[in-house]
Amino acid sequence: MTSRDFLTDFQHMSAVGATAGGGVDRQAGTAADLEVRAWLRDTFSAMGLSEHQDAIGNQFGLKEYIPGAPYVLLGSHLDSQPMGGKYDGAYGVLAAAHAAHRVMERIAAGRLNPSLNLAVVNWFNEEGSRFTPSMMGSSVYTGELELDEALAVTDKAGISVAEALADEEVHRCDTAPRAACYAEIHIEQGPILERAGKTIGLVDGTWGAKKYTVTIKGEQGHTGATPMDQRKDALYGAAKFIVAARELVDQFPEGLLHTSVSTLELFPNSPVTYAGEVTINLDLRSVDTTVLADAEVVLAQQRNAIEAVARVEITQELTHQWGLMPYHSAGLELAEDVVRELDQPFQYIKTVAGHDSTNMKEQVPTVMLFVPSRDGYSHNEKEFTTDKDMLAGVDMLTGVAERLITGELVENTL
Amino acid sequence: MTSRDFLTDFQHMSAVGATAGGGVDRQAGTAADLEVRAWLRDTFSAMGLSEHQDAIGNQFGLKEYIPGAPYVLLGSHLDSQPMGGKYDGAYGVLAAAHAAHRVMERIAAGRLNPSLNLAVVNWFNEEGSRFTPSMMGSSVYTGELELDEALAVTDKAGISVAEALADEEVHRCDTAPRAACYAEIHIEQGPILERAGKTIGLVDGTWGAKKYTVTIKGEQGHTGATPMDQRKDALYGAAKFIVAARELVDQFPEGLLHTSVSTLELFPNSPVTYAGEVTINLDLRSVDTTVLADAEVVLAQQRNAIEAVARVEITQELTHQWGLMPYHSAGLELAEDVVRELDQPFQYIKTVAGHDSTNMKEQVPTVMLFVPSRDGYSHNEKEFTTDKDMLAGVDMLTGVAERLITGELVENTL
């Protein structure tokens, strides 16, 4: 167990799957993802953590102090979006490993007395870009998603999760270490902390989200010959829907509603035949459930109008949703104690994005922390957090872990 | 040489690559296309036509009367769009074969004296859905497209034209039969003849067309976390452009302008990352060059407005265009004589769609004929032409071919 420099490790880790634009491309189960997982395996080993993988490829680094006791679990994810940033998820895994390492050093020096075991986790496929749904590893861990169902998911090339994971030659177990509590640190992915001049965000809740698959059905025809008034052009209908979904936000107070369409498949996608069918996603998020409900009503009216104008049929199917969910108050109190001791500027904040912690907090006491994202860039190579903020975050997570390992949060809340 | 029933042949031909919805799916060089080409080879053979293929896979059926003389060429194409109709192109090839067969019977019976040779052609890849550009075979034949360039074109799976053609085990020659003149019959692909109660359309010109590749560049980001006012969502920009392009037609008198966007590729096409880049096509067609020019000006203004609102950059590159081009007046006179003799209701008409004849007419005297399309359906399984109209078209093409074989059009115009 040797002392390691966080920034040096961060640099090495970020070189795996690096893109020319300063980001990373490490979609779940790709060669780049398996390479960074191998790097983490070596890092675990150098830090005195023993690797343990469960059946869905969640990668744990374990340090057992109390045989049979549950674990303080710290972590995030190393997989990325296509052409993504190098901080998203990866910063949290490395911060977890370094926080754990520091806690281990304090325990070894006799300055801290553990009443739980300690583990770092790299959750498999948090991003969900190659294999849907997102947060796959933590969803299987918490029992929200069946293992067999997750392993059978295929990417666009028809490769299954099981096949992608089989390329990594490691031993996987049916069991995973049992968590007593969980802590995660992540870049904010928005501009709030930076604008407010705060270093640490204490996440007290999630925005609500509703996700849909939207299918627009028309009838294919000749791009030149078919008279305009006779067309049932599915891509025209889809385009009007995408515009309506985006401009929905203007009907609500600024910042209350986020909407996106980010995926699109069309048939036949041919230069001289306009589309007969288009499938898109729809992602609605708000910090206010009333706004979400109102947005759905307005969009439904617009959907009907688009069906009439574009002569198409639109079906909208809810595929995933979560409400406005609070994080544990005892965890927030613990984290606020730590941030005050460290004398860092902080604020309470909500997360718009989903995280593995949004799964974990339904099972065990959970602390979720943010550090600033410059200009709020996310899922983009330009994503950036300063070294100073990253290091402050590691200190913060270390402070939280030191309290968790003594059983503080578990005793207070269970 | 035996007498054959056109409708029986049409039924057998339409069974190759048939779809459940009553259409066909025989994209160029696919197994279904090769199968229908084999069917045509057998048909040529039964009709006493000898097969000759050139290097780009144009499939000719030849009957030589005057050694060394050029050919009266009759034909169209057997390939289709994905989930296309069974009449588009295929009707014209079969009509050409039957017209040629009848001409051969009259010559054999000593009732017609040929001064040229006779050939039927199935042009390779007229549709251009799998391999771009469209009208590939006739473009190589007329020298508009280099053979090597055409053979090197790849589909989305990376398979080249040369590789697709290699699956057909036939002898191909560097040379093709030399045409003295050309005639093609095709379904109208629009509703004009049906609405007017006419059986035969004499095509006197083409609409003008301009085709573009349009690229919309933004910056990818998180569908949930990124603040709306900060987004540079390329799919939002693309959707606004698609709507603008479609609604451009409303600014011109009805029926004067046709616009389409039918292809779209987006990156990264991920459920939680909105698009950083989208590429679409744009297809503008008009019977009036002023309208085309005005449409471009209006669209350019809207493009600038979309760039500002969606915070994206849009580039629009012209990839292909043709002007309003007349068909040969001597050919129209010849065709009008025939249609009057046959006493069929007819009218002069322009073609909005491109055809192999639009290539051929730049080289040799060319006659282009239409039969009605019910409800104007095109590039759709619902495409339909009545048996009666099909048979009237075969009679019409036969009458034209009988005159062409005597050298009438060639003597009159060359």
pLDDT value of residue A412: 47
* A-chain residue closest to B286, CA distance: A224
Structure-block tokens of residue B208: 């003008």
Q: Indicate whether A13 pLDDT > 70.
A: yes
Chain A nearest-CA distance from B278, in A, is 11
CA distances B286 to B235, B255, B321, Å, are 28, 8, 12
Residue B224: which domain range? 208-322
Which among B322, B354, B369 is the end of a domain? B322
Answer left, alpha or beta for residue A104, where phi above 0 means left and psi between -120 and 50 means alpha.
Answer: alpha
Could you tell me if B150 and B65 lie in one domain? yes
Asked if the structure places residue B98 within a domain, the reply is yes
Whether residues A229 and B254 touch (CB distance < 8 A) is answered with yes
Cis before B365? omega within 30: no
Q: Indicate whether B322 pLDDT > 60.
A: yes
pLDDT value of residue B1: 39
Whether residues A190 and B263 touch (CB distance < 8 A) is answered with no
pLDDT value of residue A4: 77
Could you tell me if A18 and A130 lie in one domain? yes
Could you tell me if A249 and A335 lie in one domain? no
Which among B305, B322, B339 is the end of a domain? B322
- Whether A227 and chain B come into contact, CB under 8 Å, resolves to yes
pLDDT value of residue A1: 39
Q: How confident is the model at residue A414 (pLDDT cuts 50, 70, 90)?
A: very low
Question: What distance in Å separates the CA atoms of residue B167 and residue B143, rounded to the nearest whole number?
Answer: 25
Question: What distance in Å separates the CA atoms of residue A363 and residue B121, rounded to the nearest whole number?
Answer: 71
Contacts of A351 in chain B (CB under 8 A): 225
Q: What DSSP character marks residue B23?
A: -
* A-chain residue closest to B85, CA distance: A221
Is A204 labelled a binding residue?
no
CATH number at residue A219: 3.30.70.360
Chain A nearest-CA distance from B175, in A, is 30
- Mutation for A interface: B226, B265, B281, B311, most A CBs within 10 A: B226
Could you tell me if B78 and B227 lie in one domain? no
Could you tell me if B169 and B306 lie in one domain? no
Could you tell me if B270 and B308 lie in one domain? yes
Could you tell me if A379 and A244 lie in one domain? no
Kindly report the number of other CB atoms within 10 A of residue A195's CB atom: 11
Residue B394 near residue B97 (C-beta atoms within 8 A): no
Could you tell me if A39 and A163 lie in one domain? yes
- Mutation for A interface: B222, B278, B322, most A CBs within 10 A: B222
Strands (E), A64-192: 71-76, 117-122, 172-173, 179-187
Could you tell me if B254 and B366 lie in one domain? no
Whether residues B226 and A189 touch (CB distance < 8 A) is answered with yes
- Whether B376 and chain A come into contact, CB under 8 Å, resolves to yes
Whether residues A271 and B229 touch (CB distance < 8 A) is answered with no
Contacts of B266 in chain A (CB under 8 A): 263-264
Chain A nearest-CA distance from B130, in A, is 8
Q: How confident is the model at residue A2 (pLDDT cuts 50, 70, 90)?
A: very low
Is B320 labelled a binding residue?
no
Nearest to A235 among B207, B209, B261 (CB): B261
Could you tell me if A159 and A256 lie in one domain? no
Chain A nearest-CA distance from B22, in A, is 14
Asked if the structure places residue B354 within a domain, the reply is yes
A210-258 per-position pLDDT tens digit? 999 999 999 999 999 999 999 999 999 999 999 999 999 999 999 999 9
Q: Indicate whether A37 pLDDT > 60.
A: yes
Q: Taken in order B247, B248, B254, B257, is the CA torsion positive or negative?
A: negative
B274-304 per-position pLDDT tens digit? 999 999 999 999 999 999 999 999 999 999 9
A256-307 per-position pLDDT tens digit? 999 999 999 999 999 999 999 999 999 999 999 999 999 999 999 999 999 9
Asked if the structure places residue B362 within a domain, the reply is yes
CATH number at residue B72: 3.40.630.10
B341-376 per-position pLDDT tens digit? 999 999 999 999 999 999 999 999 999 999 999 999
Mean pLDDT across A53-67: 97
Which H helix or E strand runs over A212? strand A208-217
- Mutation for B interface: A88, A220, A254, A355, most B CBs within 10 A: A220
Question: What distance in Å separates the CA atoms of residue A144 and residue B78, rounded to the nearest whole number?
Answer: 52
pLDDT value of residue B412: 47
Could you tell me if B10 and B92 lie in one domain? yes
Whether residues A262 and B227 touch (CB distance < 8 A) is answered with no
* A-chain residue closest to B155, CA distance: A270
Question: What distance in Å separates the CA atoms of residue A218 and residue A233, rounded to the nearest whole number?
Answer: 6
Chain A nearest-CA distance from B213, in A, is 10
Number of domain units in chain A:
2
Asked if the structure places residue A360 within a domain, the reply is yes
Which among A322, A355, A387 is the end of a domain? A322
Contacts of B83 in chain A (CB under 8 A): 220, 267-268, 276
Asked if the structure places residue A126 within a domain, the reply is yes
Question: What distance in Å separates the CA atoms of residue B63 and residue B186, rounded to the nearest whole number?
Answer: 23
Asked if the structure places residue B296 within a domain, the reply is yes
pLDDT value of residue A3: 55
Asked if the structure places residue B1 within a domain, the reply is no
A124-159 per-position pLDDT tens digit? 999 999 999 999 999 999 999 999 999 999 999 999
Chain A nearest-CA distance from B81, in A, is 8
Could you tell me if A52 and A134 lie in one domain? yes
Window 18-77 of B, Cβ < 8 Å to A = none
Asked if the structure places residue A1 within a domain, the reply is no
* B-chain residue closest to A383, CA distance: B221
Is B88 labelled a binding residue?
yes
Whether residues B211 and A271 touch (CB distance < 8 A) is answered with yes
Whether residues B127 and A228 touch (CB distance < 8 A) is answered with no
A369-404 per-position pLDDT tens digit? 999 999 999 999 999 999 999 999 999 999 999 999
- Whether B236 and chain A come into contact, CB under 8 Å, resolves to yes
Mean pLDDT across A89-113: 98
